[in-house]
Amino acid sequence: MAKNKPKIIILLGRSGSGKGTQAKLLIDDFGFDYLGTGDLLRERVKENDFSGKKLKQEMDKGERVSTYYVFQLWGKAAEKIKEKPNLKGIIIDGSPRSLLEAELMDGLLDWYEWENIKVILIDISPQEAFDRLTKRRMCKMCGRLIPWVGTFKDLKVCDQCGGELIERADDAPAAIRRRMDYFKKDVEPAIEYYQKRKRLIEIDGEQSIEDVYRNVKKAVSKV
């Protein structure tokens, strides 16, 4: 593998697996760039035009957002990242979510000549994911997400700003169940695809955040 080329880390995992937290830790430690589908979509929704409204509708229902549209956003974001001097690596979060998207993603990575690629799956059971998602809360003031793990369960107000804690709108049980259905139907074939290509590293996501991160770092050092 070309050592001077950026490391590409694709983070996969169910909603609630804590992969967003792991992405942040990696960015802080390694100075990687971040390409997150969720962020790109939320940014796009703000424009509140035809596509913005349609995306919001799909997201509220917990549906898998149109592959066609997601990949337009990815392409634009990748173009910008490619121009950065001294690019160390990229954390790809929230895609691919299907076999088709995995193949499209390969096309994108090929195009930009990014070839040091590993796929890290933060693995948690469906039940664990459901519990974490139905009990997760968000601060109304600063937007901080409070995970349903450890001592966070006892918080009555935000531990950073004292704001009121509310249940997150996209975490309604029906939407969660829909996301779980498409994980099984669509995301799992993408995971198998990476397994066949020997790019997949599986990490037990039901350990503490620190232990998960220790394993993630070990995986990244091998890229």
Q: Which residue positions form the known binding site?
A: 16-21, 37, 42, 136, 168, 179, 207
Taking the least distance from each CB to Zn ion, the nearer of 63 and 164 is 164
Q: Does position 219 bind Zn ion by CB under 5 A?
A: no
What letter would DSSP give residue 185?
I
Long-range contacts of 96-100 (CB under 8 A, 24+ apart): 96/10, 96/190, 97/64, 97/182, 97/186, 97/187, 97/190, 98/64, 98/67, 98/186, 98/187, 98/189, 98/190, 99/186, 99/189, 99/190, 99/193, 100/67
Q: Is 166 among the residues that bind Zn ion (CB under 5 A)? A: no
Of residues 109 and 138, the one with the C-beta less far from Zn ion: 138
**Residue 163 lies near Zn ion (rule: CB under 5 A):** yes
Report if residue 144 touches Zn ion, rule: CB under 5 A: yes
Closer to Zn ion by CB, 35 or 158: give it: 158
Phi, psi of 9 (to 5 degrees): -115, 115
Query: Contact 161/144 with Cβ under 8 angstroms?
Result: yes
41 touching Zn ion, by CB under 5 A: no
Residue 157 binding Zn ion, by CB under 5 A: no
- # chain residues binding Zn ion, by CB under 5 A: 8
Cα four-point dihedral sign 176, 174, 60, 189? positive
By CB under 5 A, name the one of 161, 177, 189, 197 that touches Zn ion.
161
Q: Residue 145, interface with Zn ion (CB under 5 A)?
A: no
Q: Is 140 in the site for Zn ion (CB under 5 A)?
A: no
Binding site for Zn ion (CB under 5 A): 139, 141-142, 144, 158, 160-161, 163
